Every structure is written in C-alpha cells, then in structure tokens.
Amino acid sequence: MGIYVILSKLTDEGAKTLKNRPERVQEVNQELEKMGVKVVQQYVVFGEYDFVNIVEAEDNLSVMKAMVELASRGTIRTTTLPAVTVDEFLNSLKQRK
C-alpha cells in the first residue's frame, strides 16, 4: 500500500456544505474507502489549506481517480503528495551502494 498526504482546501460551496452538514466529512471518508483510498489520519489546519489527510491506496491511479471525483463536485481542491517513511527512504539509499 502506498501512503499519500492530501492537502485540501474548501471552496466557498464546500465551506457552506461543511457548515450545514459537518457529518459530510465522515461521509466523504466512507466514499473514499469505497474508491480504494483509506483515510488513516485527518487534521483540520490553519493557513493555506483546511485539511491534511494521510491516506493509503494501492497505487497512484486509485488516488488520482478519487481526487478527480472529489474535485468534480466543486466543493474542494486538493494537492496530493506521495510519501514514504524515513526508514524506507534510508534503506533504499543503503541498498544502492
């Protein structure tokens, strides 16, 4: 399973939806799981983004398809970053010597 960091920002429409239906966040997480993207951790943050999500997925295409689906709704914009643990990274450096 791959790990991804998803930075998301609500659109004006998304902010209205969240205000009127806060439970929508959990509903979207369930929808993502059906698309093969499991939310591992989720944070609300201040600044340029509104949420930081750590997710697991089988591959890049699964995450891309899910993010296109979310973006098509007009309530959120995302930036997705593939991630590896520091240990995985350090081990890969050691193996290449």
Residue 17: helix, strand or coil by DSSP?
Answer: helix
Per-residue pLDDT of 9-65, as tens digits, reads 999 999 999 999 999 999 999 999 999 999 999 999 999 999 999 999 999 999 999
Reported pTM: 0.90
Range of the domain at 39: 2-95
Gap between the terminal Cα atoms of the chain: 26
**Is residue 96 over pLDDT 80?**
no
pLDDT of residue 38: 98
CATH of the domain at 69: 3.30.70.920
Torsion-angle region of residue 47: left (phi > 0), alpha (psi -120 to 50) or beta? left
Residue 95, pLDDT score: 86
* Structural domains of the chain, count: 1
